[in-house]
Every structure is written in C-alpha cells, then in structure tokens.
Amino acid sequence: MAQNRKGPVVFAPTHRSYIDFILLSLTMLFFNMELPHICAGEDFLNILVVADMLRSSGAFFMRRTFKGDDLYKVIFTEYVKMLAKDK
C-alpha cells in the first residue's frame, strides 16, 4: 500500500494513551516504511524523557492555541503544508 499510494497518508491516533503515536512509528520502522511526522503539544517539552523520545520518533511541537498570534498560525500552517507534500 505504501509503495502504490498517491499522495500523503494521515494517521490520526485517538490519544487514548500517549504511546499510540510512538507505537505507530515503531511499527512503521519495523516494516521499513517511511516514518510519520508527529505533531505533539508543547507541554510535552517539559517532560524531559518523553520530549527526547518524541523528537527521536519524528515529532515536532506546537502550541495548544494560536489565539492572538496570527504570525504563529501562518508559519505553523505553512510548515504542516510543507510536511504533507508528497515527495
């Protein structure tokens, strides 16, 4: 499926646990698939071991709200668009 896809694939974990997106990355690594980009809340940056593990799994961090910061919203939106472009 990964080799024949046309366009990006988006996985949306349910967040019933914080480990689901890490397990997804490990599963994809095991099957020699391209690792996903993981968007994590910036509050994870305060948990040192978790932040390092997320970074190692391909995570980038975002604020929980864009309210009052239009520049951040535009930059974040363009960054996600760039990540979602098919290679």
Q: How does pLDDT run along the chain (87 residues), one tens digit per residue?
A: 667 777 777 777 776 776 777 788 888 889 888 888 888 888 888 888 888 888 887 788 999 889 999 999 999 999 989 888 865
CA–CA gap between residue 70 and residue 15 (Å, rounded): 27
Name the phi and psi angles at 39, rounded to 5: -100, 115
